[in-house]
Amino acid sequence: MKKILCIVSLFIGIASFFSCGNRNDTPTVNNLKYELVKYQMQSEGCDSLREDNCAKIKIELPQITAFENELVKDKINKSIETLFSTNGNANSDSININAEMESFIADYETFISEFPDAFQSWFIERTGEVKLNKGNIFSTDFLEYSYTGGAHANTAVTFKNFNLIDGKEIKLDEIISPNKQTELTKIGEAEFRKLKELTTEADLGQAGFWFENNEFYLNDNFLITDSSLVFYYNNYEITAYAFGPTELIIPFSKIISLIEEKSLINSFIK
């Protein structure tokens, strides 16, 4: 089948932001440019009206195009590319998304040649956008919606928060110190029960949730916004697929007493 390839780069923003923290290594003004890079490929079957013998793949990922620290820029871009890569090979020296898309189309063509009466379409959509660019924090999301056979399509959301000082992914310990995370979890559980309309006495397991040892926990999939921490539980993570994912929002106003002066978010929430 003939393949069609389209690569488009779309400029989406310039962010100038100020940091009022007291750290000597925190610049007062940063000029950061980023763009949304788009890749698309599809098999020849997608040209038909029915498109039931067709494979499509679309990837749209944010990339920093200009930043005062080139090493940080390259490190963050590599992390984002790895996340959006179809094989997710973090150890690869170079990621070739075009080649990965060609492989996906080729796998579909092999499937169709072996099962010509399958009349099945495959697709992968991976999209992301910048969610926060403030102080020394650069946060993005990643959404995958895909189908390569089975009972239903698969969806997954992943959040990534990067430190613009060193380019590393931010861990929760850098936001809330470990000795205060027990209290953070208690606050998170209260917000979770409110979200799910559960009383404080309600048994989580009997309510349909799969927390280990029937004890609520906060996972590592969190997003830093300018007003809250957002924890995302994907399908099957804590409950059945039919109940869908859970997006748990913990406003900074509820945890401000847990945030220390050295925290990365302190400069823009106080």
Position 29 pLDDT exceeds 60: no
| Model pLDDT for residues 70-109, shown as the tens digit of each residue | 999 999 999 999 999 866 554 556 789 999 999 999 999 9
CATH domain 173-268 topology? Actin; Chain A, domain 4 (3.90.640)
Q: Would you state the pLDDT for residue 222?
A: 98
**Residue ranges per structural domain of the chain:** 4-170, 173-268
**Cα–Cα dist 25/16, whole Å:** 17
Position 44 pLDDT exceeds 70: yes
CATH domain 4-170 topology? Heat Shock Protein 90 (3.30.565)
Catalogue the E-assigned strands of the chain: 4-18, 29-42, 55-66, 122-127, 130-134, 137-147, 154-163, 222-224, 228-233, 246-251
Position 63 pLDDT exceeds 80: yes
Residue 110 — pLDDT band, cuts 50, 70, 90?
very high
Q: Would you state the pLDDT for residue 227?
A: 93
Q: Are 221 and 233 in contact, with CB atoms under 8 Å apart?
A: yes
Average pLDDT over residues 140-165: 93
DSSP code for 236: T
Residue 120 amino acid letter: Q
pTM (two decimals): 0.85
